[in-house]
Structures are given as C-alpha cells and as structure tokens.
Structure 1
Amino acid sequence: MDTIAEQILQLELKLLQSDLKAHPELIDELLAENFEEIDSDGEIRTRGDVIGWLLHKDLHIQWVFKEFRVKALTGNLVLAIYSLHKPDQLSAHYKGSIRTSIWQCQRNQWKMVFHQASRKS
C-alpha cells in the first residue's frame, strides 16, 4: 500500500476507533467544517449528526477494513474506497458495507469532507 493510502487508512481508523469523548479535539482534526454523509439508508446526515454518532459509538467494536484503496482526484483530494465489517459479522452470509470517503488536504492536514455507506446486497 502506498504512503498516502496508508495515511488515509490510519485516519479512517482513528475516526472509527478513537474515544472521541475523551479526545474531542480529534473531531475538528479529522472532519472538515463542511462535512456531510449519506448513510447506508440513503439519508443525508450533517456533520452534527455524524459527530453525535461518533461520540456514542460502541468503543468495543474493532472494525475490519477490507480491500482498502485510494484514488487521487486532484493534488489535494483523494477518494478512499473499502468494505467495512464488524468482527462478528465476517461470515459468508453477511456482506458488510462498501464505504467511500473523500479526504481533502487543508493546510497540510487531511480532513474528511464526505462519506457514503452502501450496503452490499
């Protein structure tokens, strides 16, 4: 995996695995001010909606990232594409979800500006 892909993967992990109640500064470090998301039900979520979920997520879940890759869109914009699974749902009948995130380098710091979750059928 190339350096930028490794860096973005670490940021994705930090966002999902960190205790943001204990480290609220990570929210502004990782999410752009204009961030928005389309959730797995097709609903548009605001930055505030997503922050609320992140602050109350189950910290015991160690998410499994598969097939992680990054595509450069511009010099300061990349698209991360991967599948995401809960460890207890790695069986053949549960297919997880496909995730895409757009990360933008703002003042030498990568921030997520958009995220979409799609269930695998």
Structure 2
Amino acid sequence: MELQGIAEHIKQRELELLQTNWRANPALINDWLSADFEEIGNDGKISQRVDVVNWLLNKDNAIRWSLTDFRIKALTDGLIVAVYFAKKCNDPSSTSKGSIRTSIWQHQGNHWKMVFHQATKRLET
C-alpha cells in the first residue's frame, strides 16, 4: 500500500477509535492497539493500555469528532507517525479548542496497530 493509501487507512482508524462503540465487541481492540501501547494525555498523564481500553469501553459514544490537517510520515518500513488536529463536533458542554494529536502506528501481522498516542491541548483561537 502506498503512503497516501496508508494515510487514509490510518485516519479512518483514528476516527473509528474515537467513535466506535467498543462495548459491542471489546475483543476487536486487540486488532487496533498494540500489547505495549501507552498514551500521554492532554493533561500530561501517562496511561497504560489497560487505562485507555477502559476509557474506550466507557466513553460517550454519541460524541462525534473531526480530524483536520491529517498527515503521516514513514519512520521506517512498517512504522509511521500520524499528526492531526482533533475536535469534538457535537458536545455543547465542551469549551475545548481541540487538541493536536500524534500517534505511532506499526504494521503487525495483517493490521496497523497503534503503539503510542499523545494529545496536546490546542491553546490558540
């Protein structure tokens, strides 16, 4: 798969991670997140895979997200970094300007799996 195709695939996976009801089939999370996955949240807290899985299973599935300025860069063969802006679209209680997101994806077996993710609050207007 060429880089543009990989970018579209990874963007779709990022969006689905945020918007899928994982309670319906929690075992699928294993196809998306690497066993050694970790995350740095927009509060600076480092979360292990188990914490992120718990969030995915209990998040508000009605929230929709927009991903803009999405781009990827190949780090090595089978390892890419994705960078984009994320913002909640339909959460009237949110005053957030969104966040800058960075994810590292690795091709493992037949799947692209996220091995690392970081969110940074977007401060500009």
TM-score by length of 1: 0.92
Per the TM alignment, residue 104 of structure 1 is displaced from its structure 2 partner at its CA by 0.2
Q: 1:6 aligns with which of 5, 8, 13?
A: 8
Report the secondary structure of 1:69's partner residue.
strand
Partner letter of residue 64 of structure 1? S
Percent identical across equivalent pairs?
53
Give the RMSD, CA atoms, in angstroms: 1.8
SS at match of 2:117: strand
Unaligned segments of structure 1, at least 5 residues: none
**Structure 1 residue runs of 4+, over 3 Å off?**
none
Q: Deviations over 1:57-96 (max 9, x none)?
A: 110011111111111100110001000001147xxx8531
Q: How does 1:84-95 map to 2 (within 5 A)?
A: 84-88=86-90, 94-95=96-97
| Structure 2 match to 1:43 | 45
Matched position secondary structure for 1:27: helix
**In the alignment, what sits opposite 1:102?**
104
CA apart distance, 1:25: 2.1
Q: Match for residue 72 of structure 1?
A: 74
3-state SS, counterpart of residue 22 of structure 2: coil
Please give the alpha-carbon distance, in whole angstroms, between the structure 1 residues aligned to 2:96 and 2:48.
28
Structure 2 gap ranges (5+):
none
Say if 2:63 and 2:90, in contact at 8 Å, map to a contact too. no
Aligned-partner Cα distance in 2 for 1:25–1:63: 23
Q: Which residue of 2 aligns with 1:21?
A: 23
